[in-house]
Amino acid sequence: MNTSRLKSRRKQDHGSKLARILIGTLATIGVIDTGSITFNRWGVIGSLSCPGNAQGCDRVLDSPWGTIFEINNITIPLSFIGLIAYTTILLLAIIPFLPSINTKKLDISSTGWWGLFFLSTCMSIFSWLLIGIMIFKIEAFCFFCVLSAISSNLILLLTIIGGGWEDKRDLIFRGIILSIIVIIGGLIWSSSVDPSKVNLSSQAKVAPVVINKSSTSSIKFAEYLTQKNIILYNAYWCPHCHDQKELFGREAAAKLISIECAPDGNNSKTDLCEKKNISGFPSWEINGKIISGVKSLEELADLSAYSGPREF
């Protein structure tokens, strides 16, 4: 009788308690990290202070890779998936410590370790893919993204070390299969939202996709410029024109009156550009006057007598 109880208790004490505590701590950091990003994207909390380079964080989080999908004007950011994953890991880590759980009837410890392994493997492999995108595609640094990558990789390491695995060959085999699936799926997803891939697949010569996300003020400002019939003259091949639109962000830039001047550009209006004597790009037509060069939104607001909010 006593021997049976002892074996049962040993079965329930699967793995390292210290590893669970550390995993729970890292998961909590991950919840705060991804939760802050998610609620910021949803407008629930204000701007985030990003150590190192705030502009870099904005470029990464507002890039096409920062969003899963948008539906009914509601954005589902990638960070929301991370928030769900870290919350699940936190629960898996602390459930065996809860006094209300009846561990005599259910061996939740072993199941929990496998759950931690599967989740942390997916998150760790995917985090490396995201770091690659951040460095080579977006070319910006995001502290929050790096923090999440470090947390997920440490959780995987602690899971492997502290899981008390009886057959590590099975662990390695499942980890390799899962990693391959995540890599293939991640690459397919990354390619499907890559703006450069979208442009290459199009026969029309169009400008690069605007990556930055617009603020509420920049959207209102763009609407004001359109109402005042203030026009942006640009060319698809012009990098400075793209920089000008990035200052507005993709939502606001889409609301501007934008004239394509390149003869081989999509929806080109070369005749109008020649009639207006447009000699440089980008150029703005404000109250009948042509003003050339990239302008900050503050400069444009002053030139156009804008009196609305200027939290650009």
List of residues 6+ apart from 76 with CB closer than 8 A: 67, 68, 69, 70
CA nearest to 251, candidates 38, 70, 53, 49: 70
Residue 204 burial (10 A CB sphere; 0-12, 13-18, 19+): exposed
Apex CA 308: angle with CA 303 and CA 312, to 5°?
Answer: 80
For the chain, 312 residues long, give each residue's pLDDT as a single digit of tens.
Answer: 444 443 444 445 468 999 999 999 999 999 999 999 999 878 788 767 788 766 678 778 877 788 887 666 577 899 999 999 999 999 999 988 887 665 544 467 788 999 999 999 999 999 999 999 999 988 888 999 999 999 999 999 999 999 989 888 999 999 999 999 999 999 999 988 886 665 544 455 788 889 899 999 999 999 999 999 999 999 988 888 988 999 999 999 999 999 999 888 888 999 999 999 888 889 999 999 999 889 999 999 999 999 999 998
Asked whether the beta carbons of 59 and 51 are under 8 A apart, the reply is no
Short-list 90, 82, 83, CA closest to 155: 90
Fold of 2-193: de novo design (two linked rop proteins) (1.20.1440)
Question: For residue 141, how many other CB atoms are within 10 A of its CB?
Answer: 18
Q: In the chain, where are the structural domains located?
A: 2-193, 216-303
pTM metric for this prediction: 0.65
CATH topology classification for 216-303:
Glutaredoxin (3.40.30)
Beta bridge partners of 234: 260
- Which residue, among 212, 253, 203, 207, has the nearest Cα to 232 in the 3D structure? 253
List residues bridging with 74 in a β-sheet: 71
Closest CA to 292 of 300, 93, 266: 300
Return the closest-CA partner of residue 129 out of 65, 186, 211.
Answer: 186
